[in-house]
Amino acid sequence: MVARYKSVTEEKADGATFTPRGLAGFVARQIASLLVARPDRRLRILDPAVGEGALLVSLIETLSAQGVRDLEVHGFETNRELLLRATRTISSRFPDVPAHFSSNDFLKFAGQVASPPSLFSAAPVERFDVVIANPPYVRTQIMGAEHAQSLASHFGLSGRVDLYHAFLLGIIEVLEEGGVAGIIVSNRFMTTKSGAAVRRVLRESVSLHHIWDLGDTKLFEAAVLPAVLLFTKRLRDSGSDRPTFTSIYETDGHPSTTVEDPIAALDEQGCVRVADGRCFKVTHGTLDLRTTSDGIWRVATETADAWIKKVEDRTWRTFGSLGDIRVGIKTCADNAVVWSADTNS
């Protein structure tokens, strides 16, 4: 009998999930909104998983439209065919932009940057002013136990490691202090146990500006629920403001407005219809920072916080306080109903 993950497509094994143009442009605009002009030197941009180069194209176009032209791009891509396409695209569309692409493994490069300098490391550490990325999504079962264990050991991860977990931590390592990053990832890390280390490092090492949970918008052909993170590498001794948090999920509500697509819907509030007929509930709030640094991420609003406070005030015990929870139950129901009995009746 063939093992479940013995035979997978090359695309799935590589974690290739190509970024739609609309989403690439959205991330590029968010990054550009945070960039501070650096007249003293050239802006160094990195995409650690270049693919066909869609993210770099969108970012260069966006920055050029804002008058930023003194820049150079760097990228890593282990798929040589994709790397060749990206090289041709960037060189033909932006001949004046120096491009430095490598077929080496970005995670090995990031590991070298993270290693403490020694007498024998003569080369200066390379860091970048901007990182834009859609890292590959490859779970433990597909990448193999040995590779997963190696990544977990090097980056301090645990549980069911996904390749994008390591990419996120590697990106933080290579980003300059004060540098800006816009990253597209699976939203699973926000709530899973295996994502705890990633959540902790993000809370402690960077200034998160905005989180977009893009939910079931189906922006990718792959069955992935994406999120976008916008952050800067925290300057020493600088604090972190409470980041804004936007979520968008399909709903059966009554829309108040109609827009072209889910990306455009992110500027709206409440129930929004898109051109293909789907309706989404868009919620704007902030990241709940009341939990520990590795606690799950959720969007906090005044209404939701008031509801949670009401529940907490009427809670005698939680399941976790009564014993170890080993198995979770998912009902697939839209509403959770808890029945209680009056013991005095």
pLDDT value at residue 120: 47
Name the most confidently modeled range: 38-47, 69-78, 135-144, 238-247: 69-78
| Gap between the Cα atoms of 187 and 168, Å rounded | 13
Proportion of the chain above pLDDT 90, given as a percent: 54
| Gap between the Cα atoms of 132 and 184, Å rounded | 8
User: What confidence category does residue 90 fall into, taking pLDDT thresholds of 50, 70 and 90?
Assistant: very high
The token duo for 279 is: 């309706």
pLDDT value at residue 224: 80
Which residues lie closer than 8 Å to 345 by C-beta, 6 or more apart?
none
pLDDT(237) > 80: no
User: What confidence category does residue 150 fall into, taking pLDDT thresholds of 50, 70 and 90?
Assistant: confident
Across the range 262-266, mean pLDDT stands at 96
In degrees and rounded to multiples of 5, residue 206 shows phi and psi of -130, 165
Domain ranges of the chain: 13-115+123-250
The token duo for 238 is: 């600088």
Nearest partner of 31 among 67, 58, 70, judged by Cα: 58
Nearest partner of 129 among 74, 176, 66, 67, judged by Cα: 176
pLDDT(338) > 50: no
User: What confidence category does residue 96 fall into, taking pLDDT thresholds of 50, 70 and 90?
Assistant: very high
Nearest partner of 194 among 296, 323, 344, judged by Cα: 296
pLDDT value at residue 159: 74
| Gap between the Cα atoms of 100 and 6, Å rounded | 35
Q: Which amino acid is at 311?
A: V
Strand 128-133 versus strand 175-186 pairing type: parallel
User: What confidence category does residue 217 fall into, taking pLDDT thresholds of 50, 70 and 90?
Assistant: very high
- Residue-wise pLDDT tens digits, 277-319: 999 999 999 998 888 888 999 998 877 767 777 787 788 887 7
Class of domain 13-115+123-250: alpha beta
The token duo for 194 is: 């295996």
Q: Cα–Cα distances in Å, from 205 out to 168, 171, 172, 201, 239?
A: 12, 12, 8, 6, 10
Which residues lie closer than 8 Å to 121 by C-beta, 6 or more apart?
115
pLDDT(57) > 70: yes
User: What confidence category does residue 333 fall into, taking pLDDT thresholds of 50, 70 and 90?
Assistant: low
The token duo for 97 is: 């932009």
